[in-house]
Amino acid sequence: MPFMIDMQRLDNIRVCTESTDKGSTVSADFYAADEQARFSLQAALGLSISEGLFTSPYNLVVEGVTDFWLLSTMARILQDENRTSLDERVTITPSGAATTAAYVATMLQGQDLNVVVLLESDPEGEKIAEGLIKNWIMEDKHVLLLGKVLGREENITLEDLFSDWFYLSFFNKAYDKELNGKPLTAEEIKANGKNQPQLVQRIESALKSRSMESDSAGWTFDKGRVAKLLMTELPKQSLADLPDELVEDFEQLFKSINEAMPGLNDEPGRKKAT
């Protein structure tokens, strides 16, 4: 029943389906739901929407709050410089994870709102994208995988749009106390993360080589901590101080989001972060 769904813990949702050949099946996969189960999910999220959880006709659903921070920060910077940015009518909605992004995007679409989903280019993101397109009748042009948008074949997150040295300058500042005055270098994370495509993974490997694993010594490497610093410090810099590739990648990303958003180009609007 819709009222039994905890809207604060979408990650706890399990779908129960019945079939004559397999009997009852319980799954954590959102795309395993049949129409009856889907109706309950739509009703529950529809109630939250009506209560004001989502108020924009144009919604960009992303996985985590760090994605929201990085996207909104870069959008404001680019808009202030009259560069290609995120249309001001688009609201960025962090969902918490790839699976919950699928739930939120599907239910928003079910409420006749315009939705684009942006997912990380990793196995989980690709799985969710496939499920959205094939099972929830979302058009593939409205489901964006970060790597494909930027023409990259490797698994990437938004942090990978930042060059190693540039991101590390903020990481080292955010974790100065834990690093005891010994900042990580681009050479160090490259040497310790040779087979890891994602910047965050290479940093974790470098920390491990220093016996500074995330769950030891009472501290945790949290990319959100770095994202908060980026959100605070980046607007203080001029666009000329930012790496060209970083600016170009975010411009391409925002251009792709604006073009993919259904109905957005049917009416005029400035390009600005929400």
What is the mean pLDDT of the segment spanning 181-194?
90
- Asked if residues 184 and 168 have their Cβ atoms less than 8 Å apart, the reply is yes
Cβ partners under 8 Å of residue 15, min gap 6: 26, 27, 28, 29, 30, 32, 33, 37
pLDDT at 46: 45
**pTM for the complete prediction?**
0.77
- Determine the Cα–Cα distance for residues 269 and 220; give it in Å rounded to an integer: 42
Least confident of 71-75, 86-90, 128-132, 150-154: 128-132
Instruction: Give me the pLDDT at residue 108, please.
Output: 81
Q: Could you report the per-residue pLDDT of 26-85, keeping only the tens digit for each?
A: 765 544 555 555 545 544 554 444 444 555 789 999 998 899 999 999 999 999 999 999
Compute the distance between CA of residue 126 and CA of residue 205 in angstroms, rounded to an integer. 24
Please state the φ and ψ torsions of residue 211, each to the nearest 5 degrees: 60, 35
Cβ contact 189:168 at 8 Å: yes
Residues 6+ apart with CB under 8 A from 187: none
What pLDDT does residue 64 have?
87
